[in-house]
Structure 1
Amino acid sequence: MNTAGTSTLSAAFLLHRRDYSNSSLLVECFTEQQGRFPAVAKGVKGRGKSASGLLQPFVPLQINWSGRGEVKNLTHYEPDGRMFRLDGKALFCGFYINELLIRLLQRNDPHERLFQNYRMLLSQLDASGINEASLRYFELEMLVELGYGIELTVDLADGRPVEAAKWYRFVQESGVTECPADIEHAISGQTLLSLELRSLNDPRQLKEARNLLRTVLGFYLGDKPLKSRELFRHAL
């Protein structure tokens, strides 16, 4: 979808920004109405810190834009609530989520539910730091929104319901199937059911869910590693 812009304001966040010419910024917008797209914010670096300060990640915005090309012109922006202040590990987590969205979202493909989930996750990171279970739920819901959802409650081999006491392995683009408990990256049925119900509640389940979702996301991300993951690793 290639639109000329919008005359009404749309809720938005910036996923990334970089300098563009001497006075402008090239920003990657994630909007509720239009999805993800790049835009040029012209002349903002000459307007003082307040203009440039708004145009950064984790600031809720209302924006509009113009242009029929792939890169839009940002014509108006204003705050839509206070900036989410992420520190330490929560900040790296925010960068990680932003990079996932840039890498996986198609441009100009709206995902209103995903946008709201993103806002809620930033709010949680701002209020209480990293909650690993919430991060796993966001990853899972993002995959569902993008059409890559995982069937967690049915054994693909025979169609039987996943059982809490059994162990399973993940088959890419297919689902889960029963396996011995001692194979690498085996996932307990209890973890699969807890992930489906959004009720992960112990370190073992969190580790298994993290390994599962890293495998699934890695398939769609391809061979290029996530910069944010490397940054986070070096910061620890």
Structure 2
Amino acid sequence: MHQRPFSESSQIINLFSRHFGRVDVIAKGSKRPKSKFKSFLQPFLPILVSWSGRSQLKTLRSIDLNIKQKTTLPNKQLMSAFYLNELILSLLTTTDPYPELFDCYALTIDKLSDIDSSESVLRTFEINLLSQIGYAINFQTEAMSSNEIEAEQVYRFVVEEGFIRSNTTTPHHSLIKGSIIKAIEKGDYSTSQILKAAKRITRESIKYHLSGKELNTKKVFRSIHKSN
């Protein structure tokens, strides 16, 4: 996920594992040229590791490449992949296992290696992430009721509440048609309208649960768009 200096020769490595969730380890001597860890400590590289220690910060003992899951990401998708990593580091607590989210992450990285546009893949991951950490978005029924979302109705989305039916007939950028909500629930991102709505819904939810913290990858995205 991420690495940062710990001492002159060592680093703290943030790992994401299938059975232990987020784990922080010290890689002793990893900054030395001949370190046995050095070549394996790269983002998005599937590895097999062992660690020891009783404190929250573990000590890395061994590391090897997981050949079965090796994926090479094209440069154009690297920023999207770094965004996934930052979401995990920002929203997941350490040592809580998230096996389904881990599998979703691995699948998402694999898909990013073989597509031109990352939008639908990112939306699927964001929705899955929110669900796994206890903040699932209800795309099936209206907020605070058991009334099913209706395709021909329009709704506004409120984080922590859900989709609230609107009685207005005047089009507005904050209103979402029920048919679009249903499409997102099915994972159908076949139109730009659906993608745009899904992005707004997930970004509003993520921003809320980050408690105002701005992701570094978002800052980079903005600077890239400005320069273009």
Aligned to 1:167: 154
Are 2:29 and 2:35, in contact at CA under 8 Å, matched by a contact in 1? no
Aligned to 1:108: 95
Aligned to 1:121: 108
Are 2:156 and 2:165, in contact at CA under 8 Å, matched by a contact in 1? yes
The Cα shift of 1:159 comes to 2.5
RMSD: 1.7
Are 1:86 and 1:129, in contact at CA under 8 Å, matched by a contact in 2? no
Match of 1:189 among 162, 178, 182: 178
In 1, distance between residues paired with 2:158 and 2:114?
36
The Cα shift of 1:166 comes to 1.6
**Superimposed CA distance per residue, residues 67-106 of structure 1 (whole angstroms, 9 cap, x where no aligned partner):** 0111100111100026433234411101111000000001
Query: 1:194-209 alignment to 2 at 5 Å?
Result: 194-209=183-198
Aligned to 1:224: 213
In 1, distance between residues paired with 2:116 and 2:3?
24
Aligned to 2:118: 131
4+ runs of 1 displaced by more than 4 Å?
Answer: none
SS of residue in 2 equivalent to 1:108 = coil
Aligned to 2:77: 90
Match of 1:67 among 53, 56, 59: 53
Aligned to 2:39: 53
Match of 2:21 among 35, 38, 42: 35
SS of residue in 2 equivalent to 1:120 = helix
Normalising by the residue count of structure 2, what TM-score does the alignment of the two structures yield? 0.91
In 2, distance between residues paired with 1:212 and 1:197?
15
**Superimposed CA distance per residue, residues 144-187 of structure 1 (whole angstroms, 9 cap, x where no aligned partner):** 11110011111125432111222111122121111135344211
Q: Percent identity?
A: 31
The Cα shift of 1:209 comes to 0.6
Report whether the alignment pairs 1:214 with 2:197.
Answer: no
Long gaps (5+) in structure 2: none
**Superimposed CA distance per residue, residues 43-82 of structure 1 (whole angstroms, 9 cap, x where no aligned partner):** 1222538731211210001111100111100111100026
Aligned to 1:4: none
In 1, distance between residues paired with 2:159 and 2:179?
20
Long gaps (5+) in structure 1: 1-14
The Cα shift of 1:142 comes to 0.7
Report whether the alignment pairs 1:152 with 2:144.
Answer: no
Which amino acid in the other structure matches residue 125 of structure 1?
A: L
The Cα shift of 1:129 comes to 4.2
Are 1:93 and 1:130, in contact at CA under 8 Å, matched by a contact in 2? no
